[in-house]
Amino acid sequence: MTPYTLIIITIVALISTSCSSTKILVAMNKSTDRFIVLESDKRILYERGAKADAKTIAKKLDTAIESVEKKQYKKFTKPVTVYICDSIKSFTSYCVYSQASGCVLNERLFLSPKNFQADRQALTHELSHLHIEQQLGMFTWHSGYPAWFQEGLATYVSDGEGANTVSPDEARKAIIDGKTFTPNISGSLIFKKTAHSFGLTPNMFYRQASMFVKYLHDIDKVKFKTFLLSVESGKNFDKSFSLVYGNSIKEVWNEFIQDQRKLRYFRIGYATNFKLIKGNSMSRKCQISGKGPMTGNNVSHAQNKTKRRFLPNLRTVRITLEDGTKKKIKVSAKELRTMRKKANQ
């Protein structure tokens, strides 16, 4: 690459980012004076054409607030206001991204007509964002915390809203095939690593992220609560994580992937497109955990050490895949125990 092309790339990058940040700046300060207060529920404001949608939200608001407060372990720290837009154009002027069905920007929650056209439940998802933005402020929440966590949490709290087109099974297959994200630590307001940074569709990214958040919750509910409260109090994301889980995010992420493998391959009748990891029946590797031979020492009485190999205790099992085909695979005795347990559940 010549210095000349490098300069051009830099200029293009600067222009495009300053452009989107200008849009965000304008949107976050745009006046909401034109919104009308809903008579029956003053927390809801709507644009002229969105009165019916405002009434729909009035019926759902209390339940949605309650479920966010329960799953994020804290009451909302400020009053909740929901703005209902009557056109995608108006929504985009407050939220920048026209494809979204809702957004929280600068501690204000907007819903797009899209949310109502497709009978979506963006309300709970967006309330999850608002809940933490109220506590940390928009800049801290976005610059200190990664998108996979923000979106994963909101999607998990709203029972999958934001990931509607991708099932957990599809997401699991993609994760095992390596079509997934890297749970990076920091966030950034402008250079945020989100779906497209990892070559994923937003729905796929949200689904995978929410499965990881659910995993963090399910492996230890007490730890998850401690971690989330630590994040909500504004403590460093990475430090809070390792302090609570006793491991780095990367290590827990790897355990999560292992767990997805087991879920996919070991629930009989669950897996499709099963692939042998090493395709070779002579392999000395467990095809689920990837556990293979290890080297160590034979130690004689006189403490003389000679090299030896420790082989995993492998068993051959036949599993039935979703399409009815049967496969023989080799698994370690330990994995086989887990498999039996899962099959009996």
**Quick one: which segment of 67-75, 151-159, 208-216, 238-246 binds Zn ion (CB under 5 A)?**
151-159
> Residue 195: in which H helix or E strand, if any?
none
To the nearest whole angstrom, how small is the minimum distance from the Cβ of residue 151 to Zn ion? 5
**Quick one: which segment of 116-124, 149-157, 244-252, 279-287 binds Zn ion (CB under 5 A)?**
149-157
Among 154, 171, 175, 286, binds Zn ion (CB under 5 A): 154
Neighbours of 234 (CB within 10 A): 16
**Quick one: which segment of 75-83, 131-139, 144-152, 233-241 binds Zn ion (CB under 5 A)?**
144-152
Closest CB to Zn ion: residue number: 154
Comparison of 203 and 260: residue with beta carbon closer to Zn ion: 203
To the nearest whole angstrom, how small is the minimum distance from the Cβ of residue 129 to Zn ion? 6
Burial of 219 (0-12, 13-18, 19+ CB in 10 A): middle
**Quick one: which segment of 27-35, 58-66, 150-158, 183-191 binds Zn ion (CB under 5 A)?**
150-158
Number of residues that bind Zn ion (CB under 5 A): 2
Query: Which residues does 332 contact at the CB level (< 8 Å), separation at least 6?
Result: 286, 288, 289, 291, 312, 313, 314, 315
CA dihedral 41, 43, 47, 48 (to 10 degrees): 20
Indicate whether 209 belongs to the interface with Zn ion (CB under 5 A): no
Query: Which residues does 323 contact at the CB level (< 8 Å), separation at least 6?
Result: 272
Q: How far apart are CA 181 and CA 165, in angstroms?
A: 18
Question: Could you give phi then psi for residue 83, rounded to 5 degrees?
Answer: -105, 125
Comparison of 115 and 332: residue with beta carbon closer to Zn ion: 115
Site map 32..71 versus Zn ion, x via CB under 5 A:
----------------------------------------
Comparison of 86 and 151: residue with beta carbon closer to Zn ion: 151
Binding site for Zn ion (CB under 5 A): 151, 154
